[in-house]
Chains A and B, each alone.
Chain A
Amino acid sequence: MNDDILLAVENLSVALPKGGDRGHAVADVSLSVRRNEIVCLVGESGSGKSITAHAVLGLLPSNLSIGGGAIRFRGADIAHADEGTMRGLRGGAISMIFQEPLSALNPLARVGDQIAEAIVTHASPRPSRAELDARVLELIAAVGLPEPATLVRSYPFQLSGGQRQRVMIAMAMSNNPALLLADEPTTALDVTTQKQILALIRRLQAERGMGVLFITHDFGVVADIADRVVVMRGGRVVEQGSVDEVLRRPKDDYTKALIAAVPGSRPAAERDRHLDGEPLLDARGLNKTFVTAQGLFRPHRTVPAVRDVALSLRPRETVAVVGESGSGKSTLGRIIMRLVEPDAGAVEFAGMDFLQLRGSQLRAMRRKVQIVFQDPFAALDPRQKVGDAIARGPMAYGVPPAEAIADAKRLLARVGLEASAAERYPHEFSGGQRQRICIARALALKPMVLVADEAVSALDVSVQAQILDLLAELREEMNLAMLFITHDLRVAAEIADRIVVMRRGEIVEQGDTKSVFTSPQHPYTRALLDAIPGRSLFAGPEAAATLDVMTA
């Protein structure tokens, strides 16, 4: 059995530079990867999972170094191996793929050359041009890329995200590695693409009997791909075991909390919220095409972002707009916010066409529709105190400053922060706290509609769950209608009464959450549902029913 162990990390410590919030990036980490198995290393941001993987290949950032412990690869300790030995291993017996496939490829070199370089580096004698070309084509075909002959000559920017990641994988496979380190390789991809890449990694792993150390933050992905799981928190391993043990019978409290926080895994809330009445907001015939001028003599580049979209929102209703990148969901949200002017269409809101309003009328109506953005770091003015950021809105509508500030403090308390937060600047808060501030800012104007544009996507799962709970409470308290824009069907399932699925600027399907999950009509919706990672373990609100449909 022990002969099977490819990689054994023993009591590894990596020290952080002085002045950080903790002494070690990674402390006392032990884990192993055997031949022909996939080990998932899971954790939230800052857990040290990525550092651990980088340490294996000696690719730590220059301000970090291995403090103690051993990294045994095929029995030999490589924790302190010299650069020459490590170079021989990198891209040879051990290869690695990364999260962001665009930035991980040299933008100025053809992909074929980049793959060839990986082969030549470890080949001796140097293969002939013809051999090399044949090998590159073979690799490209092996990772399922189309038109290999054309593809070798293309540049990374000409490929889609999924294709780029396949190129990275082809490069990693070029010397038949024994061990593959995959650092969040599907995080930057859409779910349907993620599913394909996961399947590809699984297939290559099985074909070649590789060991894979797969780093991810997503328990859904873990459920889909892992043989064994290692859970990390704050630089330490809190639990490890087989995928069944860890996911179904977690022992550690943190693991339990993490798994419970995975959207879609929680018990479904009472769905019938007794929604009725006329639509509060009714959008019809929305169209928007982005046109970029490219200078003289060049045709303008046109990108249709939203095509003939109709959408309505009843009082107190939460509608989730779900789609992958490029589906136009964010543009739709921004049209409704009047941040982007559509080419055509109407948004009837509280009895008038919101899109026709100008000047002071528009300003008067603006407060009724508020937005929470995705990136809580970009959404707050770094030079404005939190209290000011919240109070400025009501003040713009004539609320006396003292009253507005008092209100802001009340709201801060309501969203779970100290009232004294009002006196501080955004950089003093964590991502989750900032998102709470953004919610308070939006609610200060007592809106009727809240647009949440990927409002929980940038957050760790445990924080994500808290924010979703907060939003669910607030919508009841304030009788809010919500337009919840997300790429994640699991999140949509948690909060939405109704789901609208968009693809390439068009709505392909809409219906109440339950029916979209149980009886999706459009093939694309089915593909999306099918691509939700971890469906075998966590399912939507109607888990049993969905599974039945899937197996039927």
Chain B
Amino acid sequence: MRALALSITGSRGVAIAIAIAQWLVRFVAVVLVIATFNFVLVHAAPGDPAQVMAGQSGSADEQMLAQLRAEYGLDKPYPVQLAIYLKRIVTLDLGYSYRQQRSVLSLIAERLPATLLLTCSAFLLSLVAGVSLGTLAGVRAGKWSDTALTIISLFLYAMPVFWLGLMLVLLFSVKLDWLPAFGYVSIGVPMTPFERVVDIAAHMVLPVVSLGSVLMAIYARLMRSAIIDVAHQDFIKTARAKGLKRGQIIFRHMLRNAVLPVVTVAGMQAGTLVGGSVVIETVFAWPGLGRLTFDSVLQRDYPLMLGIFLVMSVIVIVLNFLTDTIYRIVDPRVSLRAAS
């Protein structure tokens, strides 16, 4: 009983501190491993590493290559090279894009906000819509609305995001002319700040919907089956035996329990979301990291590609941390168990 008292009163804070520390360790580990992986990739690529970093164009002159070799210690043994490379990463030096004649970090920093706006909106949309639609289908399992939702999500789940994006453009921009198809904001039109926000929002609709729909389909299916599972559990019978109404049972007892597996999967799907942003930004000419990826791949701009890869992995870890936190808020057992 004393253990019980302790675990309830004191140590939730400790548990949260431990969780953050754990996450930081994971964060550093992932960054280091990906940096190492990048390093290996540069050396695995056909051709001289210096050439690879310069952009494999053949246009790089000898003087520049020599400078690169010196900078990255390319004449030294591999461990030393790796150490130099990791040190640069840790000090946020992601290299220089010779194609764009700018530092990789500044290129990424410029594009990051647009990507974050896109991915986070899509993430939120997919979670909120997925959970609500899934709940609706789950509590109406077997009815026509459930069947309709199941069919829609089956199709969405089978769609390549880029094609869904194109089809939405075809319908809403080309045929109906309701929404802008490309870009982030209308160019060359004088706007008040408010108009500008509305304009950006209008530009966001199609990319966010295309990117979010596929994930929404996944979450909706998951939520539906979780709701059906929870409905069969004993504590729902207890809730009925208390005399609660159906709605009260759904909102107070089923939702919270059913949303847990969805949150877990949302964390695991963060990578899919970021990967999807690459093609979606390409389709919608959205000026974010994804577009930058496309361009860097076309131009075989390695320093830029590797830098983007690193930053995108970091975004995934951050999203993971967010879903983890949501999980902890919903399920008190995690942190209380850890603390006891």
> In this assembly, does A242 line the interface, its C-beta being within 8 Å of a C-beta of chain B?
no
Report if A104 contacts B (CB, 8 A). yes
B25 CB-CB contact with A under 8 Å: yes
Instruction: Find chain A residues with CB under 8 A from B243 CB.
Output: 87-92, 121-122
Q: Does B336 contact A (CB under 8 A)?
A: yes
Nearest CB of chain A from residue B236's CB, rounded to whole Å = 9
Q: Which residues in chain B, 214-257, are within 8 Å of chain A measured between CB atoms?
A: 233-235, 237-245, 248, 252-253, 256-257
Report whether B240 and A100 are in contact in the complex, using a CB–CB cutoff of 8 Å: no
| Chain A, Cβ-Cβ closest to B244 | A121
Interface segment among A133-141, A294-302, A409-417: the answer is A294-302
* A102, closest chain B residue (CB): B234
Instruction: Specify the chain B residue showing the minimal Cβ separation from A150.
Output: B5
A residues in contact with B234, CB < 8 Å: 98, 100, 103-104
Report the bound CA distance from A87 to B256 in whole Å: 23
Docked Cα-Cα span, A100 to B4, in Å, equals: 21
- A239, chain B: closest CB distance, angstroms: 29
Q: Is B331 an interface residue (CB 8 A)?
A: yes
Give Cα A83 to B69, complex, Å.
Answer: 80
Question: In the complex the two chains form, is A105's CB within 8 Å of B235's CB?
Answer: yes
**Option from B237, B253, B331, B338 in Cβ contact (under 8 Å) with A59:** B237
Are B238 and A153 touching (Cβ within 8 A)?
Answer: no
Which of B241, B244, B257, B338 has the most CB atoms of chain A within a 10 A radius of its CB? B241
Is A108 an interface position by the 8 A CB rule?
Answer: yes
Could you tell me if B333 and A107 are in contact, using CB atoms closer than 8 angstroms? yes
- A147: CB under 8 A from chain B? yes
Task: Decide yes or no: A296 and B237 within 8 Å by CB, A108-B332, A153-B8, A158-B8 being known contacts.
Answer: no
- Closest chain-B Cβ to A136's Cβ sits at a distance in Å of 14
B22 touching A297, Cβ below 8 Å: yes
Q: Which of A93-128 contact B (CB under 8 A)?
A: 95-96, 98, 100, 103-109, 117-118, 121-122
CB proximity of A341 to chain B, nearest CB, Å: 27
* B1-44 interface bits toward A, Cβ cutoff 8 Å, 1 = contact, 0 = none: 10011011100000000100110010000000000000000000
CB pair B240 A90 closer than 8 Å: yes
* Pairwise interchain contact A150-B244, C-beta atoms closer than 8 A: no
B167 at the interface (CB under 8 A from A): no
Asked if B337 is at the interface (CB within 8 A of a chain A CB), the reply is yes
Q: How far is the CA of A294 from the CA of B9 in the complex (A)?
A: 21
Minimum Cβ distance to chain A for residue B321 (Å): 15
Interface residue? A171 (CB, 8 A): yes
Q: CA of A146 to CA of B5 in the docked complex: distance in angstroms?
A: 11
Looking at chain B, what size class is its interface with the partner chain?
A: 35 or more
B4 contacts A158, C-beta separation under 8 Å: yes
Q: A154-B4, A296-B22 are in contact. Are A107 and B235 (CB under 8 A)?
A: yes
Q: Contacts A98-B234, A155-B336, A296-B25; is A90 near B8 (CB within 8 Å)? A: no
Partner of A91, one of B4, B8, B242, B331: B242
Whether A150 lies near B4 (C-beta < 8 A) is: yes
Cβ-Cβ contact count across A and B, 8 Å cutoff: 96
- Would you give the shortest CB distance from A293 to chain B, in whole angstroms? 12
Closest to B233 in A: A103
Q: A57: CB under 8 A from chain B? A: yes
Provide the bound-state CA to CA distance between A117 and B245, in Å.
12
Residues of A within 8 A of B332 (CB): 108, 155
Complex-state Cα separation, A147 to B4, whole angstroms: 10
Report the minimum CB–CB distance from A139 to chain B (whole Å). 13
Q: Does A157 contact B (CB under 8 A)?
A: yes
Question: What does the 1/0 interface line of B322-340 toward A look like (CB < 8 Å)?
Answer: 0000000011110011101
A170 to chain B, nearest CB (A): 12
* Chain A proximity of B272: nearest CB distance (Å): 25
Q: How far is the CB of A216 from chain B (nearest CB, A)?
A: 18
B21 near A103: Cβ-Cβ < 8 Å: no
A330-388 residues at the B interface, CB under 8 angstroms: none
Question: Contact between B242 and A104 (Cβ–Cβ < 8 Å)?
Answer: no
A168 in contact (CB, < 8 A): yes
A95 / chain B contacts, CB cutoff of 8 Å: 241-242
Are B337's CB and A157's CB within 8 A?
yes
Q: Let me know if B8 and A154 touch, CB within 8 A.
A: yes
In the complex formed, the residue of A with least CB distance to B252 is: A117
Q: In whole angstroms, what is the CA distance A157 to B235 when docked?
A: 13
Asked if A297 meets B256 with Cβ closer than 8 Å, knowing A117-B244, A150-B5, the reply is: no
B11 to chain A, nearest CB (A): 12
Question: CA A146 – CA B237 in complex, angstroms?
Answer: 27
A89 to B25, CA, bound (A): 55
Q: How far does the alpha carbon of A513 sit from the alpha carbon of B257 in the complex, in Å?
A: 48
User: What's the nearest-Cβ distance from chain B to residue A104, in Å?
Assistant: 4
Q: How far is the CA of A100 from the CA of B233 in the complex (A)?
A: 11
Contact indicator B237/A90 (Cβ below 8 Å): no
Q: Which 5 A-B pairs have the closest CB atoms?
A: A91-B242, A90-B243, A91-B243, A103-B234, A96-B241
Query: Could you list which residues of chain B lie within 8 angstroms of chain A, going by C-beta atoms?
Result: 1, 4-5, 7-9, 18, 21-22, 25, 233-235, 237-245, 248, 252-253, 256-257, 330-333, 336-338, 340
27 pairs of residues in contact across A and B, judged by CB atoms under 8 Å: A57-B241, A59-B240, A87-B245, A91-B242, A95-B242, A96-B241, A98-B234, A98-B238, A104-B234, A105-B235, A106-B235, A108-B257, A108-B332, A121-B242, A147-B5, A150-B4, A154-B4, A154-B8, A155-B333, A158-B7, A171-B238, A296-B21, A296-B22, A296-B25, A297-B21, A298-B18, A298-B338
Known A87-B244, A91-B242, A154-B4; further 16 A-B contacts with Cβ < 8 A: A57-B241, A59-B237, A59-B240, A90-B241, A98-B234, A98-B237, A104-B238, A105-B238, A107-B257, A108-B330, A108-B331, A118-B242, A121-B243, A150-B5, A155-B336, A157-B333
